[in-house]
Structure 1
Amino acid sequence: MKFADLGLSDELLRAIDESGYSEPTAIQAGAIPSVLMMRDMIGIAQTGTGKTASFVLPMIDILAHGRARALMPRSLILEPTRELAAQVAENFEKYGKYHKLSMALLIGGVQMGDQIKALEKGVDVLIATPGRLMDLFERGKILLTGCNLLVIDEADRMLDMGFIPDIENICTKLPANRQTLLFSATMPPPIKKLADKFLSNPKTIEVARPASRNENIEQFVVKTSERGKRDTLRGLIEAEDLSTAIVFCNRKTTVRELAKSLQRSGYRAGEIHGDMDQSSRIAELDRFKAGTINILVASDVAARGLDVKGVSHVFNFDAPWHPDDYVHRIGRTGRAGAQGRAFTLVTPSDDEAIDNIQKLTGYNIPVHGTATADAAPAKDEPREEREPRRESRPARGGRGRAKPADPDAKRADDKRNEAPRKKDAGRKPPPAARQDDDGSDDGWNGPMPGFLSVGFGS
């Protein structure tokens, strides 16, 4: 099937052809005719299958006829993050270059004044995050009574971020006879309930089982230790034929520290996380897309919907807390039919998270070669050698006692007085035994408490 078979206008087909596309993806082939027929629709597809174009393309043709009025957008697209909103805006600019459609972007982190000016002129397409939209609505700067087409994109991400009450509130402000399109990679029960409430007889287009495995992405788990993670990651980066990669972490502080660590090791690494202001996040993404940096360390703010061509690898430095996030993270590679590789660094504490991911995806993720995984923890051994010195600190005690002037006399005195204290000293395991215990307790780096050497029931 070609785009020309879907009923799109000649101007739009020309823009698509100039963008280098000729054949629609499965979700595009299924969704575009239904949207053009003004039907409500639910689109369920894996991330990276072209959901954005499946609503942007027909919307351009629908909105080509009509006229915008001040403060009253003709259509509304809701996105969970600023990056996704900006990406949808780029799609409208790329595919709508032969149409005279006006567009406004309402996102947090930027000046509100310019956004209000754009609304006052009237816009055909309003792309917004729920928080900023509700803020302007409550200030009386926007009217939604003229909005006849609503798109709720990445609905499951909206749920995770707590935006569902805002979306329900927004839906009540829109005309009852509007056209509503809902797109999501997964369909949890709260999203199904939202669809039942606000969509009228929708057509459901499901091109893949929710959260199913993308065959274009090779997935691996890499066993390591908590302290050996950075060395394991560097080993994987060196061993892989890497062009560009995204490294996901669970915490913003980990993102900052890991990016600096990779930079010190000579890698062209950048970072993106929720504590950065919008201009910095966009600038870092532009550097990544331009190839100035080829490794982007990110929090889950970059896990959903961001489309950067040529991402060959995804590394989960931390196993994601929620299994749905795993699907979206690895979906940054293997996009539009390309091949990709995804590695998840796993410590013993991550066993439950990996089990949940495998249950969700129905895929038993293979363990990567043990040579890379086992090499990293070995670098921690020098730290083990320092522990006996830390153990010996209490022996320096007795700051109030005078030191014997003659070292030989001190040693002789110690031999006479040490016997009564040998029982206490015996409670502490010798350094060699403590190293054996450390093998199964990756995060502990201090002396072993004495009470742990006492057996129970033996």
Structure 2
Amino acid sequence: MTKFSDLKLDPKVLKAIDEAGYTVPTPIQAQAIPYALEGRDVLGIAQTGTGKTASFTLPLITRLGRGRARARMPRSLVLAPTRELAAQVAENFDTYAKHTRLTKALLIGGVAFGEQDKLIDRGVDVLIATPGRLLDHFERGKLLLTGVEVMVVDEADRMLDMGFIPDIERIFGLTPFTRQTFFYSATMAPEIERITNTFLSNPARIEIARQASASETIAQELIQLQATRRDTAAKLKRETLRAVIEAEGEKLENAIIFCNRKVDVDILYKSLVKHKYDAAPIHGDLDQSVRTRTLEKFRAGDLRLLIASDVAARGLDVPSVSHVFNFDLPSHPEDYVHRIGRTGRAGRTGKAISIMVPSDQKYLDAIEALLQKTLPRVEAPELQAPVRVRHKDRPAKAETAEKVEQPAPREAAPQDSIAQDDTAQRDVAPAPAPAARAEKPRRGGQQQRNTPAREHAPRERNSNRGDNVVGMGDHVPDFLLREFRSA
């Protein structure tokens, strides 16, 4: 069995690995690190959670052990699709490079440019960035990429999904042709294949598992709901999710719940909090400081339910996630593998439960075709009827009925008062017609005539309905009493 001590890593790196509690590398680490230390390009194809980050971080630190960075010219570049994944790479670097003097800078959105500029000006050995923020610094004239010795592209297929491929191609063109390149992806779409053929030189291809296969340590279940209307489907899915959470009980230590849209993340978060669940949202529209605090709470075990969009589907290094819920089935089948890969990591067991409605059938077909197996169907737990709490100021139906049976005498009510209840209006006999209206002066000085025929008498009781028909009441607008004469 291969050990880290057999991989010819820097002794300072081996010391940090030992302090972190690792002794045996994962398969992708054992295969990729020797090629990386030889200076060859590496093309890694492996599912999420297999240790890809350490497979390029460890040889990167070993190679950069000699030399010194110059201002605005980083010696290595690591590109990640999301802020969270970039932050995870930075944490790995801090863990394994703590006994060295290597420096790093993290360039991500949501952070002021000023602090990042100061780090770049001092010179950094490792620059970890998202593509958009990296190009922002370059276009401002704060960064040069001509000194890059090693370039890493992590989660390339996710870059493709997020539309970063043109930026990646541009960044490749800004780096030296002699650089060493590490290229990692969970799947090999035709566009990814084209990029590797263009920018990698005779790479060592390492494929650990079948493309986009799910880990065998994850128990997968699917709940099929019969709701057809969109408005009722969302409510039924929320009720089902709560029932599943209750059914799992203490087995559910913590969980990530995935939604397809940011607005659905917010709606589900508010619903769970309303029902007294310990939950918090994370998606791209939140401030970086909020996202960071939420992830720290989740990692520390202070948060039980993390509701996420696909921005968190990859790169979240939380080894002890017990459950993953797909509140929405993903539109891309590869995302299903990356989502459920948040559980069952590092040899642990995990559970992934998906909820679907009939409109999700095409997504389910694509997922099962990719996995080459049928997801096990299970019945939804019984839903308990919600307890309806009546507002303290709102009368119950029995109280209202009692008031209808014993209405207050009409003579006692003020003349301008309005009946509180439609039912009361129907059961109370109408008041007698008012006396003739006093004459009012019309425009032009003429007097308005009193027309007794226009006065509204009470209508006879409808024998079929058994109640009175309520009309406009005692008041007749003036314009209805106005006389029109031909010119």
After TM superposition, the score normalised by the length of structure 1 is 0.83
Tell me, yes or no, if structure 1 residue 233 matches structure 2 residue 241. yes
Amino acid in structure 1 at the alignment position of 2:199: F
Tell me, yes or no, if structure 1 residue 348 matches structure 2 residue 369. no
1:145–1:173 Cα contact (<8 Å) kept: yes
CA distance in 2, matches of 1:29, 1:135: 36
Q: Secondary structure at the match of 2:181?
A: strand
CA distance in 2, matches of 1:405, 1:379: 38
Tell me, yes or no, if structure 1 residue 250 matches structure 2 residue 260. yes
CA distance in 2, matches of 1:90, 1:132: 19
Amino acid in structure 2 at the alignment position of 1:239: A
Of stretches 105-114 and 256-265 in structure 1, the one that deviates more from structure 2 is: 256-265
What is the CA-CA distance between 1:214 and the residue it aligns to? Answer: 1.1
1:268–1:292 Cα contact (<8 Å) kept: no
Q: Secondary structure at the match of 2:43?
A: strand
Tell me, yes or no, if structure 1 residue 102 matches structure 2 residue 103. yes
Aligned to 2:477: none
1:229-288 deviations in whole A, cap 9, x for unaligned?
A: 112111111122111100001111111121122122222111101110111100110111
1:244–1:294 Cα contact (<8 Å) kept: yes
CA distance in 2, matches of 1:88, 1:138: 24
Amino acid in structure 1 at the alignment position of 2:362: E
Q: Secondary structure at the match of 2:362?
A: helix
2:240–2:380 Cα contact (<8 Å) kept: no
- Structure 1 residues 61 and 410: alpha-carbon distance in aligned structure 2, compared to 1, 3 A threshold: farther
1:16-35 deviations in whole A, cap 9, x for unaligned?
A: 11111111111111111111
Amino acid in structure 2 at the alignment position of 1:229: K
1:201-251 deviations in whole A, cap 9, x for unaligned?
A: 111000001111210111111122413111211111112211110000111
Tell me, yes or no, if structure 1 residue 412 matches structure 2 residue 413. no
Q: Secondary structure at the match of 2:377?
A: coil
CA distance in 1, matches of 2:274, 2:428: 49
Question: Structure 1 vs Structure 2: percent identity of aligned residues?
Answer: 57
1:40–1:200 Cα contact (<8 Å) kept: yes
* Structure whose alpha-carbon radius of gyration is higher: 2
Tell me, yes or no, if structure 1 residue 302 matches structure 2 residue 302. no
CA distance in 1, matches of 2:299, 2:426: 66
CA distance in 1, matches of 2:193, 2:160: 11
2:259–2:265 Cα contact (<8 Å) kept: yes
CA distance in 2, matches of 1:334, 1:93: 25
What is the CA-CA distance between 1:351 and the residue it aligns to? Answer: 1.0
CA distance in 1, matches of 2:165, 2:461: 75
- Structure 1 residues 324 and 379: alpha-carbon distance in aligned structure 2, compared to 1, 3 A threshold: farther
Instruction: Provide structure 1 residue ranges, at least 5 long, that are not aligned to the other structure.
Output: 383-398, 416-458
Aligned to 1:394: none
Q: Secondary structure at the match of 1:113?
A: helix
Amino acid in structure 2 at the alignment position of 1:365: L
1:213–1:363 Cα contact (<8 Å) kept: no
Q: Secondary structure at the match of 1:412?
A: coil
Q: Equivalent of 2:278, from 251, 268, 271?
A: 268
CA distance in 2, matches of 1:265, 1:55: 44
Tell me, yes or no, if structure 1 residue 10 matches structure 2 residue 20. no
What is the CA-CA distance between 1:412 and the residue it aligns to? Answer: 2.2
1:85–1:127 Cα contact (<8 Å) kept: yes
2:319–2:346 Cα contact (<8 Å) kept: no
CA distance in 2, matches of 1:278, 1:305: 15
What is the CA-CA distance between 1:371 and the residue it aligns to? Answer: 5.0
1:78–1:127 Cα contact (<8 Å) kept: yes
Aligned to 2:182: 181
CA distance in 2, matches of 1:361, 1:193: 24
CA distance in 2, matches of 1:410, 1:213: 74
Aligned to 2:418: none
What is the CA-CA distance between 1:403 and the residue it aligns to? Answer: 7.4
Q: Equivalent of 1:279, from 284, 289, 300?
A: 289
CA distance in 2, matches of 1:69, 1:363: 53
1:42–1:202 Cα contact (<8 Å) kept: yes
- Structure 1 residues 215 and 411: alpha-carbon distance in aligned structure 2, compared to 1, 3 A threshold: farther
Tell me, yes or no, if structure 1 residue 78 matches structure 2 residue 79. yes
Tell me, yes or no, if structure 1 residue 313 matches structure 2 residue 364. no
1:228–1:379 Cα contact (<8 Å) kept: no
2:148–2:175 Cα contact (<8 Å) kept: yes
What is the CA-CA distance between 1:321 and the residue it aligns to? Answer: 1.3
Alignment of 1:115-134 (within 5 A): 115-134=116-135
CA distance in 1, matches of 2:77, 2:184: 14
Aligned to 2:165: 164
1:113-141 deviations in whole A, cap 9, x for unaligned?
A: 11111111100000000001111111111
1:150-201 deviations in whole A, cap 9, x for unaligned?
A: 0000000000000000010010111011101100111111001000000001
- Structure 1 residues 78 and 406: alpha-carbon distance in aligned structure 2, compared to 1, 3 A threshold: same
State the structure with bigger RCO (CA 8 A, min sep 6), 1 or 2. Answer: 1
What is the CA-CA distance between 1:309 and the residue it aligns to? Answer: 2.2
What is the CA-CA distance between 1:404 and the residue it aligns to? Answer: 9.8
Amino acid in structure 2 at the alignment position of 1:164: I
CA distance in 1, matches of 2:179, 2:27: 26
CA distance in 2, matches of 1:130, 1:328: 21
1:366-394 deviations in whole A, cap 9, x for unaligned?
A: 112x252xx34x859x9xxxxxxxxxxxx
Tell me, yes or no, if structure 1 residue 89 matches structure 2 residue 90. yes
1:404–1:410 Cα contact (<8 Å) kept: no
CA distance in 2, matches of 1:333, 1:15: 26
Q: Equivalent of 2:298, from 256, 274, 288?
A: 288
Runs of 4+ in 1 over 2 A off after TM superposition: 402-415
CA distance in 2, matches of 1:15, 1:96: 7
Aligned to 1:259: 269
